[in-house]
Structure 1
Amino acid sequence: MISNFVHSAGPWAWWIFGIVLLVAEVALPGNFLIWVGVAGVLTGALSNLFWETSWWGWQVQWLVFAVLSGVCLFIGRNWLKRSGARSEEPTLNDRGASLVGRTTSLADPIVNGRGRVRIGDAFWTVSGPELPAGTKVKIVGSEGSGLKVEAL
């Protein structure tokens, strides 16, 4: 069935497959299907070049598509990492990091390096030098679900 479809559609089968994957990337964004779609279009271009040769069967085409998919994924992901898509709100999903720089008072004293502050309606675990409750502190960092503080 696959061999009949690929043989009857020729290189168009790969171009259509690649374009369908590129359109699917628009509907399901994730930076994955775009690279597989590019591999499909490239396989279509190679099919156009080698269609009349005896060795360019559907098995070779799928192998070329698989290899090109891996290469395109590798190159594409590395390119995206280097291009560094910057967010306008880099701490949007990191509540602890978004609190860095704020000042507040200790709700509980810092004993053995651990204490608590109240920010809004939530208590946060803090680490820092030993300080009594009520001391004004500045949040200087976040580590996991806790905050690092220093006395003002």
Structure 2
Amino acid sequence: MDFLSGLSAWHWLILGIVLLILEMLGAAGFLLGIGVGAILTAVIAAVLSDMSWQAQLLCFAVLSIAATCLYWMRFRHINEATDQPLLNSAEARLLGKEAVLLDDMSALKGKVQIADTLWEVSAAENYPAGTKVKVLAVHGMSLQVEAQS
């Protein structure tokens, strides 16, 4: 407990800088609020030089929570913005693709090849081999298709 009674603004400033450096190494925003809370606690501890260690810890906790909540409410959407929303969704990228039936459909089932993958397809009616089809929906490893004219 002797260490805690000796807490000063410098301790909080060093902690805040270390946390922000760790954040820059890739913590994805998790250490940002805590680092900002530590730096703000350093400023308050410097202004109010006679703050007890209990008050400093309470101030740090409140400011860290407030900074984290502010970050998640205001700035989280910036990390989620993308110019390629379908990048990690193979199913969504298949929608609208066109392919040619490899053989005659039977029982409303057939096969197509898209890129390097052979897909089972289903349709509302049977189509002959060589029919150009368009993907309407993805159901697991099966594609719902319709004939293109």
TM-score (norm 2): 0.73
Amino acid at match of 1:90: P
Name the structure 2 match of 1:41.
Answer: 39
Q: CA deviation at 1:80?
A: 2.2
Q: Residues 11-46 of structure 1: CA distance to partner in whole angstroms, max 9, x if unpaired?
A: 111111011000001113311111211111111112
How many pairs does the alignment contain?
146
* Matched-pair contact (CA < 8 Å) for 1:110–1:130: no
Provide structure 1 residue ranges, at least 5 long, that are not aligned to the other structure: none
Q: Provide the aligned C-alpha RMSD in A.
A: 3.1
Distance 1:74 1:89, change over 3 A: same
Question: Which structure's CA Rg is the greater one?
Answer: 2
Q: Percent identical across equivalent pairs?
A: 34
Runs of 4+ in structure 1 deviating by more than 6 angstroms, as ranges, are: none
Partners of 1:85 and 1:78 lie apart in 2 by 13
Partners of 1:39 and 1:120 lie apart in 2 by 51
Name the structure 1 match of 2:19.
Answer: 21
Question: 1:55-134, aligned counterparts within 5 Å?
Answer: 56-83=51-78, 85-106=80-101, 109=105, 117-124=112-119, 129-132=124-127, 134=129
Amino acid at match of 1:43: T
* Matched-pair contact (CA < 8 Å) for 1:105–1:117: yes
Distance 1:25 1:143, change over 3 A: farther
Q: Residues 58-91 of structure 1: CA distance to partner in whole angstroms, max 9, x if unpaired?
A: 2222222222222211110121244465323322
Q: Residues 127-152 of structure 1: CA distance to partner in whole angstroms, max 9, x if unpaired?
A: 66344464422234556666554432
Amino acid at match of 1:66: A
* Matched-pair contact (CA < 8 Å) for 1:43–1:61: yes
Q: CA deviation at 1:118?
A: 2.8
* Matched-pair contact (CA < 8 Å) for 1:104–1:117: yes
Provide structure 2 residue ranges, at least 5 long, that are not aligned to the other structure: none
